[in-house]
Amino acid sequence: MIAAGSGLFVGGAPEDAALEASLAALAGSGHDSADIALVFVTGDAYASASRILHGVRRVTGARTVIGCSGAGVLIERREVEGEAAVAVLTVRGERLAVTPFLLENQERSGAEAGVDLADRVGGAVAEGGCLLLLPDVQGLDPQGLLTGLHEGLGFVPVMGAVAAGTPIFELFNTDCVRGGLAGVALSGAQSVVGVAQGCMPIGAPYVITRAETNVIYEIGSRPAVEILKEAIRSLENPEERIRRAGIFAGLAMDPAKSPLERGDFLVRNLVGVDQQSGAVALAEPVKVGQTIQFQIRDARAAREDLHATLQGMAKRLGGRQPAFGCYFNCAGRGQGLFGAPNHDVTLIGEQLGEFPLVGFFGNGEFAPIGRRNFFHTYTGVLVVFPRDPM
C-alpha cells in the first residue's frame, strides 16, 4: 500500500514554509514518517536551502529528500507563480524501492554522464521502474544524457524537468548544489505518463522527400515552405490565430499509424524559413522518409491537448486511483499562456480525481513518447503512480 500527501506554503521565511508544507504533507498521508520527500522551492529560497532540507528531514523522517528550484511550484490544488513558495510531497510504501542519485558536475559529455548514471541505477531498474531527473541547465546536454542512459539501460521511462528560478539549484538529502543533476530511480510501482505538448496539428501530414541535417527542402516533392503556408491557410482566421500562437513542426513517431492524431508527434521549433529556396529548418535533425505535420500552439490548442492527454491517461488507468503524482510544467505555460491561475492542476483534478501531486515550472521537460525518451519544451509532463497494480 502506498500512502502519500502533499503540502504547500506560500510566503514567509523559506525554512518555516518548508516545515509547514512538510507537516501538511505528512498529515495528508496519514503517517508520521515517509520514505521519500520531494521538495520544490522558488529560487529565492537558495540562501535557506540547507535549513529547508534539514527541516524536511526532521519533520518527515525521510531517508531520501530530492528536489530543486523552479520558476513556480504546484500541488494538486494550486499553482504558485511570482511568489515565494515551498511544495512538498511525502511518500511511503512497502513495495516502493527508492534509489537516489546526484551527479555534482555535468561538465562531461552528456552521453558520458548518462552511461555513468546508468551504471549507478541499473540494478534498481533492472526489472522495471522509472527515473525522475532534476538537472541544472548549466552543462546540460539533454539528448546526450538520454542517449547514454539508453545505451546503459535500454528503454526505461525518464521523466522530470530542468530546474529553473533565480538562482537555479538542486536539492539532495542535506546538500544544495548548483550545476548538478539530482534525481531518483523508483521501482516497485508502475508509472503512467502523459505528455501534453500544447499543440494542434494543422494542414495534412506529408513525407519529407528532400532534407539535409535539420533543413527540409521538400515535403511531398514540393518546396517545404509551400506546405507550411498551406497548413497556415487551413486555419480559421489564420492571421489572428498566428499572431497569438506559435508554429511548430511535428515529426511522427510511428509513420505507419493512420490516422495520425495528437500525441503521435515529437514537436520541435522552427528555427528558420528561407522563402527563396523554399526550405524550412527545424531544431531537430530530420531524415528523408519521415512524416511531418505542422502544428500550432496557443492557449486553446494547449487546453485541448492537455484534455486529450488526460483522457488517454484515464483510459490507461482503467479506473485505478493514482496514489501520487508529479507534474513538470514548462515555465512558458501557466498564467502567461492561459491568462488564469491553476489552469493545469484544475483540469488534472477534473479528469483524474484529486490525489497528492507535486511539481514545478521548469526550463524543459523529459518524458517518453512511445518507447523512446525525449527532451521537450513548452510541455506539461504528468506521471502518476496507481494505488493498485495492473
| CA angle (38, 41, 351) in 5-degree steps | 65
Residue 143 structural domain: 2-196+303-386
For residues 67-83, average pLDDT: 97
User: What is the rounded average pLDDT for all residues in the chain?
Assistant: 94
Q: Which of 249, 272, 296 is the last residue of a domain?
A: 296
The grid coordinates of residue 307 equal: 484534455
Residue 229 has pLDDT above 80, yes or no: yes
Mean pLDDT over 84-88 rounds to: 97
For residues 318 and 266, state if they share a domain: no
Same domain as 31, residue 143: yes
From CA 181, how far away is CA 94, in angstroms rounded? Answer: 27
Q: What is the pLDDT of residues 178-223, one digit of tens each?
A: 999 999 999 998 999 999 998 889 999 999 999 999 999 999 999 9
Which of 237, 265, 296 lies at the terminal end of a domain, its last residue? 296
> Does 64 lie in the same domain as 29?
yes
Residues 108-125: tens digit of each pLDDT: 668 899 999 999 999 999
Looking at the structure, do residues 179 and 235 belong to the same domain, yes or no? no
**Residue 175 and residue 205 share a domain:** no
Is there a single domain that holds both residue 270 and residue 127? no
Query: What whole-number distance in Å separates Cα of residue 17 and Cα of residue 375?
Result: 32
CB distance 73 to 360 below 8 Å: yes
Residues 236 and 341 in one domain: no
Kindly state whether residues 22 and 168 are assigned to the same domain: yes
Report pTM.
Answer: 0.93
Same-domain status, 235 and 252: yes
Same domain membership, residue 292 and residue 162: no
Rounded Cα–Cα distance for residues 38 and 194 (Å)? 20
Q: How many separate domains does the chain show?
A: 2
- Distant-in-sequence, close-in-space partners of 43: CB < 8 Å, separation ≥ 6: 69, 70, 71, 164, 165, 166, 167, 168, 169
Q: Are residues 325 and 281 in the same domain?
A: no
Domain stop point among 248, 270, 296: 296
Separation CA 11–CA 30 (nearest Å): 26
Residues 204 and 158 in one domain: no
Half-sphere exposure of 337 (CA within 13 A, CB side): 24
